[in-house]
Amino acid sequence: MTMSKKIQLAHSCTSPSNTNWELCAICQEDTAESLVCPANSKRPNTGSGYKTLAGNLMQFGELGLLPRTLQFARLDEGEGIEAALVAHKAVYHKRCMLRFNTTKLQRAQKRPAGGSSSGEGNAVPGKCTRSRSAESSTSSQPSCFFCRLSGVDLHEATTFKIDQRVRQCATQIGDHELLARLSMGDMQALDAKYHSKCLMSLYNRAKASVNAEAKTGHESVVSGIVLAELALYIEDTHLEEDTSPVFRLADLANLYATRMEHLGVPLDTRVNTTRLKERLLAQLPGLRAQSKGRDVLLAFDEDIGEALGKACEQDCDSEVVHLARAAQIVRRYMFEEANSFTGSFKEGCQQEAVPPVLLALVNMVLHGPNIKNQIDPPSTQAALSIAQLLKFNGVKHRQKQKRSTSPVG
C-alpha cells in the first residue's frame, strides 16, 4: 500500500462526514480479511444484521465505549445509522462486528463503575439501569426519543395524550425497542423530545398497519367466492386429467389475485400464499402440499383411498343436499334487505338490486365455476336479469311462532 493511499484511508477514518462504503464500515481499514454483507444474506429477514449492529453501536456510544475513529456523524446521513447501512449495503469485518455484539454489550452494561474498557482507553460508567439511562439521556445533549439523533428542531412531549398514542402505535406495529424505552415511564416524566417527522412517521406506520388488517364484508364475500372457484378448478382438473396433475402454489395465487381484481377488489399487497394454501387444504381433504426448493406443489394423495373415493363418488343424495344448502344460503342473502324504487334508474342500479352471492351463483350456472373460463365483464345482462327475477319472485315463508308451554298463574 502506497503512502498516499494510507493517508487517504486515515483521513476517511477520522473525518466525521466521509465514509468509504467499499471498506469495512466500522474500522475503514483495507485488509486481506473477508468482508460480510448482510444485504446478500439468503435468509428471509435480510438486513436484520444492520439493525442489530446499529442498535448496539448506539448503546455502546451511550456507555462511552466507542473508539474515537468511530463517530456517529460518519455513519449517519440524516435518517439514522441503520438506514445509512442499508442504503449503501455496508460491509464489515467479522472481527469488527464481534467487538460490538450483544454479548459484549451486556457485559459492558453489567460492569461496575471504574472498570476497564477492554483496551479502548475510555472509562466504563456504572451499571446501566433504567433510571441511570434516563439521567444520562437528560444530562447529555438532547436527542430525539425515536431516532436517538440530536438536533435543534426538537419538540418536547408535554401531554399524556402523546404518550398514550405513541404506546398504541408501538404496540400496533410491534416495535419492541420503542416499547422498551416507554417502559421506563411516560414521555412527559422522561422529558422526552422528538422530531416532528419521526412522530409522524410512527403515526403513518401504525395507520398503514391498521388499514392492512381491516377487511370489509364485501371483500370477505368475494374472497370466499374466488376460493370456491379455485377449489372447483383444482377438482375439475384432477378429474379430467389422465394422470394426477400437480399445481404450483404460485400459479394458484396468481389466478386468485387476477380473479379478485376481475370482481372489483384490487389487492394492494401480495397474496399471502401460506394462508391461501391452508384454506385450499381445508376445502380439499385429499390435497397435500409438498415443498420443492422455493416452490410449493399441491397434489392429491393417491394412497389415501378415502380421499380418492370422495373425489370420484357420484352420490345423488349428497348432491341434492348440497343444492338445498346452496339454495338456503342464497335465500338468506336475498331476503336480508328490501330495495325500493326512488323514481329514477341510476348507473349500476341493476347490480345494486341483487346480492353479490346470488349474482355469483347465476354466473357459475351460466358460465361455469372454472376460474379460467370467466367472461369480461364479470356479469352479463342475462345474469343480471335472471338474478333480478329470482330476487323479486322469491317467496319468503313465515315462521310459525312456537306455542308457549309455560303454566298460567
pTM: 0.31
Whole-angstrom distance, CA of residue 231 vs CA of residue 249: 12
**What 3-state class would DSSP assign to 317?**
helix
Residue 131 pLDDT more than 70? no
pLDDT above 50 (res 192)? yes
216 — pLDDT class (breaks 50, 70, 90):
low
Q: Which of 184-193, 230-239, 333-342 has the lowest mean pLDDT?
A: 333-342
Q: What is the mean pLDDT of residues 360-382?
A: 77
Average pLDDT over residues 235-244: 72
| Segment 106-119 mean pLDDT | 60
pLDDT given at position 399: 65
Residues of the chain above pLDDT 70, percent: 74
Q: How far is the C-alpha of 52 from the C-alpha of 37, rounded, in Å?
A: 13
Percent of residues, the chain, with pLDDT higher than 90: 4
My answer on whether omega of the bond before 67 falls inside 30° of 0, hence cis, is: no
Q: Cell triple for residue 156?
A: 418536547
pLDDT at 180 over 50: yes
Does the pLDDT value for residue 401 go beyond 70?
Answer: no
Mean pLDDT over each residue of the chain, to the nearest integer: 76
249-288 per-position pLDDT tens digit: 999 999 999 888 888 887 777 888 899 999 998 888 878 8
Average pLDDT over residues 8-13: 41
pLDDT band at 316 (very low <50, low <70, confident <90, very high): low
pLDDT score for 241: 57
Cβ atoms of 100 and 50 within 8 Å: the answer is: no
pLDDT greater than 50 at residue 2: no
Angle (nearest 5°) at CA 125 between 121 and 127? 135
Domains of the chain by range and CATH? 1-128 (no CATH), 129-214 (no CATH), 217-310 (1.10.10.10), 314-339+346-393 (no CATH)
The answer, yes or no, to whether residue 85 has pLDDT greater than 60, is yes
Is the pLDDT reported for residue 215 higher than 60? no
Residue 217: its pLDDT value, please? 57
The C-alpha atoms of residue 374 and residue 85 are separated, in whole angstroms, by 48
pLDDT (0 to 100) of residue 252: 92
pLDDT in tens, 20-58: 888 888 888 888 788 888 877 776 666 677 888 888 888
Burial of 293 (C-beta count, 10 Å sphere; 0-12/13-18/19+)? exposed
CA distance 307 to 301: 8
